[in-house]
Amino acid sequence: MATLSGGALGDGAPVDTLQQATQDALFGGSLVLFQPQRGAGYRTNVDALLLAGFAATPGPAASQGAGPSRPTRVAFDLGAGVGAVGLALLRFGAAKRVVFVEIDEQPVAMARRNLDANGWTDRGEVLRGDVRQVALSRRGEASLVVCNPPYIAPGRGRPRTHEARARTGELATFVEAARQVAGRGARVCIVYPAQELGALLATLAAEGLHAKRMRFVHATPESPARVVLVEAQAGRAGGLAVVPPLVERQARGYTAEMAALLAKG
């Protein structure tokens, strides 16, 4: 996963409460984000912002820098961590309300604090629990589902100890939960390693979800795709739009599109 630097999402100032969190900022300081200090837990990376930007602008306009369409009624952020994706949707005006689902106590506490710090307590709900169990109890409620699932399947790779739980998990668990919580006509948006696209599409299809929009993200113009953004819906297969790729960096730093996303707000 790529990380942000240059002040876009910095280390922030330490905060003693909530198990040594730091207070960071997104989108030019317009969004406050409390998250674990380095080495104390999983920290938000650029993939969360890429997913939020992709989900906020459905359709081909997503590749042309257009603003979000009419805000969705309720979005579910599965495996939300401290809430970066859902918070970004609120900041973009892409969702009227967001339900954050996370299993670990530390990020749950920080997600609640982040809602309060940004003045969105009445627009968000943080649920602590397994995504599958929450999805069964909230079946069909979502008009949009966003998910930045773990990139490492159990038994594969060696994530750092403090990130192991957040980085390791079964993709099928999150896709199954997304299908359960998605209402009629709901969009399901996921970011995943590009080299695992086949597995992602197969897992989605197994739950009756079919890709309708796809965008590859490249670190540089010359490099292979790093991650892929996929929007899927229940129903018939077909009708896939592969929109122009997003390139993150060029010789002199961020590309114009990437810089605009990081400054958005």
List, for residues 2-57, the tens digit of each pLDDT value: 434 333 455 555 454 455 788 999 998 999 999 988 776 778 899 999 999 999 98
CA-based end-to-end distance of the chain:
23
% of the chain at pLDDT higher than 70: 82
- Domain extent listing, the chain: 13-263
CB 31 within 8 A of CB 91: yes
Mean pLDDT across 94-119: 96
Looking at residue 59, its pLDDT comes to 67
CATH 3.40.190.10 for domain 13-263 = no
SS3 207: coil
- Reported as a pLDDT band with limits 50, 70 and 90, residue 61 is very low
Distances (CA, A) of 243 to 54, 143, 184, 250, 262: 11, 22, 24, 20, 20
- Reported as a pLDDT band with limits 50, 70 and 90, residue 156 is low
Mean pLDDT across 253-262: 94
Mean pLDDT across 114-125: 97
pLDDT, tens digit (0-9, with 9 covering 90-100), for 185-210: 999 999 999 999 999 999 999 999 99
In whole numbers, what is the pLDDT of the chain averaged over residues?
87
Looking at residue 44, its pLDDT comes to 87
Mean pLDDT across 146-155: 82
Looking at residue 201, its pLDDT comes to 97
Looking at residue 5, its pLDDT comes to 34
| pTM check: above 0.75 | yes
Looking at residue 37, its pLDDT comes to 83
What string of DSSP letters covers 96-134?
Answer: S-EEEEES-HHHHHHHHHHHHHTT-GGGEEEEES-HHHH
pLDDT, tens digit (0-9, with 9 covering 90-100), for 126-138: 999 999 999 999 9
Looking at residue 43, its pLDDT comes to 84
Looking at residue 70, its pLDDT comes to 84
Report d(CA 210, CA 48) in Å as an integer.
22
- Reported as a pLDDT band with limits 50, 70 and 90, residue 75 is very high
